[in-house]
Amino acid sequence: MGKIVQCELCPNGCVLDVNQTSRCRTRINKDGKLYSIVYGKPCAVHVDPIEKKPFFHFLPGTKAFSIATAGCVLSCKFCQNWQISQAKPQETDTYDLPPDKVISYTKTYNCKSIAYTYTEPTAFYEYMFDTAVKAKENNIKNTMHSCGYINEKPLRKLCKYMDAADIDLKAFTEDFYDKICNGSLKPVLNSLVVLKEEKIWLEITNLVIPTLNDDMKKINEMCRWIVKNLGADVPLHFSRFFPHYKLTNLPPTPVETLTNARKTAIDAGLKFVYIGNVRTEAENTYCPSCKKILIERTGYQIIKNNISNGKCRFCNAAMPGVWS
Amino acid sequence: MGFNSMLLQIIALRNLLSVFSGNELDIGITLSFWLFYVGLGSLAGKYIKCKNAFAFSFIATGVISFPTIIGIRFLRLFLGLSPGEFISLPGILSLTAFVLFPLCFSIGLQFPFAVSSLQRQNAAGNIYGLEAAGAFIAGSAFTFIIAGNFSSIHLILILSLISILAGVYISRKRLVLLFLLFPAIYYFFIPNFSPLNINLPGFNLIKSIESKYGEIQVIQRNNQKSLFVSGQLQFSYPDFQTEELNAHLAMTMHKSPLRILLIGGLPGILRELIKYPVMKIDYVEIDPKIIEISKELIKEDDKPVIKDSRISFKIDDGRLFIKNSVSGTYDLIMLNLPPPSTAGLNRFYTKEFFLEVKKTLKHDGLLMLNLPASFGYMSKSIQTLNGTIYKTLKSVFNNVEVTSHEYGKIFASDSPLDIEPSILAERFLKHNLKTWYFHSRIFDDIFSDFSIKYVKERIGKIETINKDSRPLAYFYNLMIWDEIQGSKIFSFIHKLTKWHLIVFLTIISILSLLIFKNRKQKIYFSMFITGFYCMALSICLILGYQAIHGYIYEKIGLLSGLLMVGLWAGTKIQKEKKDTTKLLLILDLFSIAVCIIFLIFFEYGMAFYLITLFTGIVTGSWFASATKAIGEGGSLYGIELIGSFIGAISSTIILIPLFGFTTTIILLILMKTISALIMFGLSN
Amino acid sequence: MTRREFLKAFVFLWSFLSLKEDSNAEGKNEQLHEAMFWRRVEDG
Listing DSSP states for B599-633 in one string gives HHHTT-HHHHHHHHHHHHHHHHHHHHHHHHHHS--
By DSSP bridging, strand B204-211 and strand A311-312 are unpaired
Angle at A129 between CA A123 and CA A135, to 5 degrees: 130
> B296 and chain A: CB distance < 8 Å anywhere?
no
Domain-embedded: residue A267: yes
Does the pTM exceed 0.90?
no
Q: How far apart (Å, rounded) are the C-alpha atoms in residues C44 and C42?
A: 7
> A321 and chain C: CB distance < 8 Å anywhere?
no
Chain A CB contacts of B380 under 8 Å are 91-93
Lowest mean pLDDT among A157-161, A172-176, B469-473: B469-473
* Mutation target vs B (from A249, A259, A262, A300; most B CBs, 10 A cutoff): A249
B522 in the same domain as B444: no
Mean pLDDT of B54-69: 79
Supply the pLDDT for residue B644.
87
B479 in the same domain as B500: no
Domain-embedded: residue B228: no
B559 in the same domain as B681: yes
Supply the pLDDT for residue B605.
66
Supply the pLDDT for residue B135.
74
> B499 and chain A: CB distance < 8 Å anywhere?
no
Mean pLDDT of B107-130: 74
Mean pLDDT of all residues belonging to chain A: 93
Indicate the pLDDT class of residue B122, thresholds 50, 70 and 90.
low
Supply the pLDDT for residue B120.
60
pLDDT of C9 > 80? The answer is no
Domain-embedded: residue A198: yes
Supply the pLDDT for residue C18.
46
Distance from CA of C44 to the nearest CA of B (A): 34
pLDDT of C2 > 50? The answer is no
Supply the pLDDT for residue C13.
53
Mean pLDDT of B654-661: 86
Last residue of a domain, one of B170, B200, B230: B200
Supply the pLDDT for residue C21.
40
Amino acid identity of residue B475, one-letter, is F
pLDDT of B231 > 60? The answer is yes
Domain-embedded: residue B674: yes
Helix axes B553-573, B605-630, angle to 10 degrees: 40
B530 in the same domain as B624: yes
Indicate the pLDDT class of residue B560, thresholds 50, 70 and 90.
confident
Last residue of a domain, one of B148, B173, B200: B200
DSSP secondary structure string for all residues of A242-273: --BTTBTTSPPPPHHHHHHHHHHHHHTT-S-E
B265: CATH:
3.40.50.150
Most distant CA pair in chain A, distance: 69
Chain B CB contacts of C13 under 8 Å are 504, 507
Domain count, chain A: 1
Lowest mean pLDDT among A55-59, A172-176, B523-527: B523-527
The reply to whether omega before A89 is within 30° of 0 (cis) is no
B266 in the same domain as B344: yes
pLDDT of A88 > 70? The answer is yes
pLDDT digits (tens, 9 = 90+) for B621-637: 888 888 888 777 778 88
pLDDT of B390 > 90? The answer is yes
Q: Closest chain B residue to C16 measured between Cα atoms?
A: B500
Q: How far apart (Å, rounded) are the C-alpha atoms in residues A229 and A234?
A: 10
Domain-embedded: residue A202: yes
Q: Do C5 and B514 touch (CB under 8 A)?
A: yes
Q: How far apart (Å, rounded) are the C-alpha atoms in residues B389 and A253?
A: 30
Chain A CB contacts of B484 under 8 Å are 82, 245-246
> B21 and chain A: CB distance < 8 Å anywhere?
yes
B561: CATH:
1.20.1250.20
Supply the pLDDT for residue B191.
58
> C24 and chain A: CB distance < 8 Å anywhere?
no
Distance from CA of A218 to the nearest CA of C (A): 35
Domain-embedded: residue A129: yes
pLDDT of B514 > 90? The answer is no
pLDDT of C4 > 60? The answer is no
Mean pLDDT of B240-267: 93
Q: How far apart (Å, rounded) are the C-alpha atoms in residues A84 and B376?
A: 7
> A82 and chain B: CB distance < 8 Å anywhere?
yes
* Mutation target vs C (from B380, B502, B507, B517; most C CBs, 10 A cutoff): B507
pLDDT of B93 > 80? The answer is no
Amino acid identity of residue A73, one-letter, is V
Domain-embedded: residue A242: yes
Last residue of a domain, one of B422, B450, B483: B483
Percentage above 70 pLDDT, chain B: 86
pLDDT digits (tens, 9 = 90+) for B357-366: 999 999 999 9
Domain-embedded: residue A196: yes
Supply the pLDDT for residue C25.
38
B180 in the same domain as B31: yes
Chain C CB contacts of B504 under 8 Å are 13
Q: How far apart (Å, rounded) are the C-alpha atoms in residues B64 and C18?
A: 41
B515 in the same domain as B462: no
pLDDT of C32 > 80? The answer is yes
Domain-embedded: residue A311: no
B537 in the same domain as B581: yes
B177 in the same domain as B110: yes
Q: How far apart (Å, rounded) are the C-alpha atoms in residues A148 and A151?
A: 9
Higher pLDDT, C7 or A169: A169
Q: Do A153 and C37 touch (CB under 8 A)?
A: yes
Sheet containing A15-16, strands listed edge to edge, beginning at the edge strand earlier in sequence: A15-16, A5-7, C38-40
Lowest mean pLDDT among A129-138, B105-114, B327-336: B105-114
Chain A CB contacts of B242 under 8 Å are 252
B143: CATH:
1.20.1250
- Tell me which residue range forms the domain holding A101: 38-283
Domain-embedded: residue B230: no
- Tell me which residue range forms the domain holding B113: 1-200
pLDDT digits (tens, 9 = 90+) for A207-227: 999 999 999 999 999 999 999
Interface confidence (ipTM) of the complex: 0.92
Mean pLDDT of B269-283: 93
pLDDT of B375 > 50? The answer is yes
Higher pLDDT, B145 or A32: A32
At a CB cut-off of 8 Å and minimum separation 6, what does A258 contact? A208, A238, A240, A275, A278, A282
Domain-embedded: residue B639: yes
B502 in the same domain as B475: no
Amino acid identity of residue B238, one-letter, is P
Q: Do A81 and B375 touch (CB under 8 A)?
A: yes
B392 in the same domain as B246: yes
> B491 and chain A: CB distance < 8 Å anywhere?
no
Question: For residue B11, which of B168, B118, B141 has the smallest C-alpha distance?
Answer: B141
Q: Do A7 and C35 touch (CB under 8 A)?
A: yes
B246 in the same domain as B393: yes
Lowest mean pLDDT among A195-204, B671-680, C14-23: C14-23
Q: Do A36 and C41 touch (CB under 8 A)?
A: no
pLDDT of A70 > 80? The answer is yes
Q: How far apart (Å, rounded) are the C-alpha atoms in residues B203 and B507?
A: 55
At a CB cut-off of 8 Å and minimum separation 6, what does B316 contact? B284, B286, B550
A164: CATH:
3.20.20.70
> A300 and chain B: CB distance < 8 Å anywhere?
yes
Domain-embedded: residue B39: yes
Indicate the pLDDT class of residue B35, thresholds 50, 70 and 90.
confident
Indicate the pLDDT class of residue B14, thresholds 50, 70 and 90.
low
Domain-embedded: residue B619: yes
pLDDT of C26 > 60? The answer is no
Question: For residue A142, which of A112, A98, A122, A110 has the smallest C-alpha distance?
Answer: A112
Domain count, chain B: 3
pLDDT digits (tens, 9 = 90+) for A278-293: 777 788 999 999 999 9
Q: Given its phi and psi angles, is residue B222 left (phi above 0), alpha (psi -120 to 50 degrees) or beta?
A: left
Supply the pLDDT for residue B477.
86
Distance from CA of A91 to the nearest CA of B (A): 9
pLDDT digits (tens, 9 = 90+) for B40-49: 888 888 777 6
* DSSP letter (8 states) at residue A58: B
Q: Do B515 and C16 touch (CB under 8 A)?
A: no
pLDDT digits (tens, 9 = 90+) for B454-478: 999 999 999 999 998 888 898 888 8
Chain B CB contacts of A68 under 8 Å are 376-377
Domain-embedded: residue B224: no
